[in-house]
Structure 1
Amino acid sequence: MITRETSVVIIGGGPGGYEAALVGAQLGAHVTIIERQGVGGAAVLTDCVPSKALIATADYMSDFEVASGLGVHLTDHEGDVVEDVVAQPQLVNERILSLAAAQSEDVHGSLQEVGVRIIRGAGRVAARDLVIAQTDADSGGPTEELAADVILVATGATPRVLPTAVPDGERILTWQQIYSLTELPERLVVIGSGVTGAELAQAFLGLGSNVVLVSSRDHVLPGEDADAATVIEDVFRKRGMEVLSRSRAAGVERTEDGIVVRLEDGRTVEGSHALLAVGAIPATSGLGLEEVGVDLADSGHITVDRVSRTSVPGIYAAGDCTGVLPLASVAAMQGRIAMWHALGDAVAPLNVRGVAATIFTEPEIATVGIGQVAADEAPDIESVMLPLARNPRAKMQGITDGFVKLFCRKGYGTILGGVIVAPKASELIHPVALAVQNRLNVDQVASTITVYPSLSGSIAEAARQLHQSE
């Protein structure tokens, strides 16, 4: 039976940490969180929340372009049409940082309301039942020993940097440093065309920067659905972005008034600023994990099972430091599962089959379940793809790019996955995720009446086209 004497110590206050803390407190444990930056962690303060707020600002500006195609124009006080909408970077960033701080405060308040103790500092695992907390860790503040029945490590990840491209916070930037800019980069060179690189490249393009995207692969978003990546790259180029495919960066150097990016083939790309988006590394160094026997992968990620257990009894891990899926939603679920399991509550192991993910480009890419690669390798899977341009609601809203794709099992019609490329695809993917999670078949989805006209109508239409005749 859990009592207030059951002690839980959580290292890291991001989604994996604070969601676990809320569950632990709800189940009656005494919970302590140790967080270096502030409650919410990097996800709230420097990564997910700020980046999506920046993207939302750029999306709002692109709405003006769509409006002009629908016959709507801004005019000045003299009645002349306003051609350009201008972003004010300092005001944009001030709002974003204020929003992130407010979100952090909200989470902080929620934790305090349920009695969670919060220590601002760094934590280190000294034994399977002992954590050392140090306040003001950067300046060598005092330490405190915390006895723990359960330890959860949820320290996240940090931006990967290149030894030949050292960020200076002024011209050479990681994605965590862009919110200190007071002026819009005149010519931004984004290195890396994965999720973060693609999202931020388009955000700055939308805000008015001249953007060059350096991609080491054949196309942007190499790990995503190829049809979706093709749509996004076409949109990038159509809107004026320069995409350098099969171009690997060798280094970045400061110049008198900007930067120069050296490519491995000898070419150079000049710009005013460089943004490094070459992946992330797990924040597991210096935590004492290996010393107490916690298994780490060669990449530094903590090895966990589906209930977030590490190789050491009583020590759990959640979030990006585990390398399961780098999503805040998954981190939060891993943290909850860890507490439910550790404190003896009913729990189901993590099921990533029904996890929906979104890339917040414009249009967005939302996915769930299996993808095209898996479908191509399995003869018993079939798919259908419907262009959104045929959808009546899309026509009304001026949407020309995007599609809905569904995968199902032949003979049974069980929906196994889906891809949606559309504005606000993150909102549209949920019915597909429900179908995948609950093993619904295409006829069940097709027979559910959708609003007319609606973008979700294309989901039902795709399901109808996959009807399994007897």
Structure 2
Amino acid sequence: MTNVVIIGGGPGGYEAALVGRQLGGEVTLVERRGLGGSAVLTDVVPSKTLIAAAEVMSRLRSAEEVGLRLGDGGARLADTVRVDLGAVHRRIRDLARAQSDDIRGRLEAEGVRVIDGTGALAGTGEVVASTVDGEQRLPADVILVATGAHPRELPAARPDGERIFTWTQIYDLDTVPDHLIVVGSGVTGAEFASAYQALGVPVTLVSSREQVLPGQDDDAAAVVQEVFQASGMTVLNRARAVSAARRGDEVVVRLVDGREVVGSHCLMAVGAIPNTAGIGLEEAGVALTAGGYLSVDRVSRTSARGVYAAGDCTGVFPLASVAAMQGRIAMWHALGDSVAPLDLLTVSSTVFTAPEIATVGVSQHQVDAGEVRALAVRLPLRSNARAKMQAVEDGFVKVFCLPTTGIVVGGVVVAPSASELIHPLSVAVRNKLTVDQLTASFTVYPSLSGSVAEAARRLHGHSTAQLH
């Protein structure tokens, strides 16, 4: 029997635990905060639940565009709805706890031993679990480190959980902010800014870059920024925050150029730091990057024999789906099952702003930089019949394919339901389908997915020139 010890109960840890048991391992999982990790307790599940409430408000605001009004013809439908932020956040916390409990129940039902405590390596063959009842020493043939990450804090902008928040603290806020300042325009900052703006909160988004969402497709980020500004959000580009401090009932964010932004509350979304300090990694011979991430190969191995790693602590791709796959791959490899190395070009991801941005495979940046020779076509959604019916005006579908062969190598979808629409492109990239094969399957008319097929259809027969 192989003893497997997993440190961390997020997606990378609990999915690995299930595979480890499936393959006959004796699995112990050590988790200090609650099963599900940040993804369930403070990140993915909570933020997307908040976004779900914001989406309802957005639909109410668009009611008049499709001909829906109150019976007396008076106030706009959206103006009759009051946001009870305390109730929204209580629902978020309840859902997170329920999901965490479900994960514990599944693990225990499968025979995984769960220890509530903090795990640390004692060499490469043992883990020490510190619990309220003392230390437990756990012999391990295989160790998986899946300890996640925590919000980065600026020295001059320390969160207090009352007016200045990280994304793990903001769900304790019970009153609607008079004016929320969001510092950081990456995925986390943009998602929160989008959600609170939709809930009717005046938002100022402080972005240090030329436009929001650096690292995303430039065309997609431009659409999102335009929508943000059209909704009334103030977006400050090329504006780097150096401090945030309370001044009575206000928060003052000072920018590097001396300007001050004043609001009632502030969310700091300035990156994450891996949870790798003080758990015996370097002493066990596990190599870390300059940023403190664990170095792993494509089957999740670290530099130390028998020690694997998964999730945000590896810095590979901060997605719950990637963490889960890294954890499964680690167990498949460690316990001798067939395994395919992690292929990041097949990963589909979504930014849950309004509209959403979903991507898979090759990016526009790679094509423009000459790293990949590919053709592309971009099809605006405003020409789609279903989009017109739903009063959707912003967004597009972009498909990349290889010249000559027409094999689909990437795609971008900007739409209210981009997280759902990216799936056919993800299947195409994973299975190396051609644009002709993608379009040979029927789509429903009218449907937003029809634009995916139409974009692919426009690539048929073109092999020498870039399309637009």
TM-score normalised according to structure 2 size: 0.97
Aligned to 2:16: 20
For each residue in 1:25-45, what CA deviation from the matched residue of structure 2 results, as whole angstroms up to 9, or x when unmatched? Answer: 111111111111111011100
Q: Are the structure 2 counterparts of residues 75 and 272 from structure 1 closer, same or farther at C-alpha, using a change threshold of 3 Å?
A: farther
Contact 2:204 2:234 in 1 (8 A): yes
Q: Please point out which of 216, 224, 227 is paired with 1:235.
A: 227
Amino acid at match of 1:329: S
Question: Shift of the alpha carbon at 1:74?
Answer: 3.7
1:72-123, CA deviations, whole angstroms, 9 ceiling, x for partnerless residues? 12457x9765451221001000001101111111111100101111111100
Distance in 2 (CA, whole Å) between partners of 1:125 and 1:397 is: 54
Q: In structure 1, give the amino acid aligned to 2:12.
A: G
Displacement of 1:234 after TM fit? 0.3
Percent identity, please: 60
2:319 is aligned with 1:327: yes
Decide whether aligned partners of structure 1 residues 437 and 80 sit closer, same or farther in structure 2, where only a CA change above 3 A counts: closer
Is the 1:24–1:343 Cα contact (8 Å) retained in structure 2?
Answer: yes
Give the equivalent residue in structure 1 for 2:89: 93
Q: Which residue of 2 aligns with 1:123?
A: 119
Letter aligned with residue 3 of structure 2:
S
How far is 1:359 from its partner?
Answer: 0.1
- Structure 2 partner of 1:181: 173
Render the CA deviation track for 1:376-431: whole Å, top value 9, x for unaligned.
23383110000000000101111000000001111111111000000110000010
Q: Judging changes above 3 Å, is the alpha-carbon distance between structure 1 residues 376 and 129 closer, same or farther for their aligned structure 2 residues?
A: same
Runs of 5+ consecutive residues of structure 1 not aligned to the other structure: none
> Are 2:195 and 1:199 aligned?
no
Say yes or no: does 1:454 pair with 2:458: no
Match of 1:156 among 132, 148, 151: 148
Structure 2 gap ranges (5+): 464-468
- Alpha-carbon distance in structure 2 between the residues aligned to 1:80 and 1:105: 43
1:86–1:208 CA contact under 8 A, matched in 2:
no
Distance, in Å, in 2 between the alignment partners of 1:80 and 1:309 is: 60
Q: Is the 8 A contact 2:381 2:451 kept in 1?
A: yes
Equivalent AA in structure 1 for residue 35 of structure 2: V
Q: Which amino acid aligns with 1:69?
A: E
Partner of 1:259: 251
**2:332 matched to 1:340?**
yes
Residues 75 and 82 in structure 1, CA contact (< 8 A), matched pair in contact too:
no
1:420 matches 2:421: no
Q: Secondary structure at the match of 2:54?
A: helix
Deviation at 1:351, TM superposition (A): 1.1
2:270 pairs with 1:274: no
Matched residue, 2:377? 384
- Measured in 1, the distance between the counterparts of 2:383 and 2:271 equals 37
Contact 2:438/2:453 (8 A) holds in 1: yes
Q: Distance in 1 between matches of 2:326 and 2:405?
A: 32
Which position in structure 1 is the counterpart of 2:466?
A: none
Distance 1:358 1:83, change over 3 A: closer
Q: 1:46 aligns with which of 32, 42, 45?
A: 42
Tell me how far apart the structure 1 counterparts of residues 170 and 198 of structure 2 sit (CA, whole Å). 15
Aligned-partner SS, 1:321: helix
In the alignment, the residues of structure 2 paired with residue 79 and residue 453 of structure 1 have an alpha-carbon distance, to the nearest angstrom, of 33
Which letter maps to 2:83?
A
Instruction: Specify whether residues 329 and 80 from structure 1 end up closer, same or farther in structure 2 by C-alpha distance, changes over 3 A only.
Output: closer
Distance of 1:397 and 1:287 partners within structure 2: 52
Residues 36 and 121 of structure 1 are in contact (CA less than 8 Å); yes or no, is this contact kept in structure 2?
A: yes
1:19 Cα deviation (Å)? Answer: 0.1
The answer on 1:293 being equivalent to 2:289 is no
User: 2-side partners of 1:229 and 1:81: how far apart?
Assistant: 30
Structure 1 residue aligned with 2:134:
142
Counterpart of 2:97 in structure 1: which amino acid? A
Q: Determine if the alignment matches structure 1 residue 55 to structure 2 residue 56.
A: no
Letter in structure 2 aligned against 1:231:
V
Shift of 1:332: 0.1
The corresponding residue for 1:114 is: 110
Q: Is the 8 A contact 2:181 2:204 kept in 1?
A: yes
Residues in 2 aligned to 1:12 and 1:98: alpha-carbon distance in whole angstroms: 22
Maintained 8 Å contact 1:21/1:31: yes
Q: 1:80 and 1:227 mapped to 2: Cα distance? A: 36
Q: 1:215 aligns with which of 182, 204, 207?
A: 207
Q: Which digits, 9 at most, give the CA deviation of each residue in 1:1-44, with x for residues without a partner?
A: xx3xx211000000000000000111111111111111101110
Aligned to 2:427: 434
More displaced, 441-450 or 294-303? 441-450
Query: How far, CA to CA, are the matches of 1:69 and 1:380 in structure 2?
Result: 42
1:403–1:422 Cα contact (<8 Å) kept = yes
Spell out the pairing of 1:31-42 with structure 2 (5 A cutoff).
31-42=27-38
Query: Contact (CA 8 Å) 2:411, 2:425: kept in 1 or not?
Result: yes
Amino acid at match of 1:307: V
The alpha-carbon deviation at position 469 of structure 1 amounts to 5.5
Q: Secondary structure at the match of 1:143?
A: strand
From the superposition, tell whether residues 79 and 212 of structure 1 become closer, same or farther in structure 2 (CA, over 3 Å): closer
Number of equivalent positions: 461
Distance 2:210 2:407 in 1: 33
TM-score where L is the length of structure 1: 0.96
Matches of 2:462 and 2:55, distance apart in 1:
42
The answer to whether the Cα contact below 8 Å between 1:18 and 1:40 also exists between their aligned partners in 2 is yes
In structure 2, the residue matched to 1:372 is 364
On the 8 A contact 1:186/1:209 being kept in 2, the answer is yes
Deviations 1:126-175 (A, max 9, x none): 11010000114xxxx51110000100000001000100100100001000
Q: Kindly provide the CA deviation profile for residues 338-377 of structure 1, in whole angstroms up to 9, marking residues without a partner as x.
A: 0011111111111111100000001100000011111123
1:447 maps to a residue whose letter is A
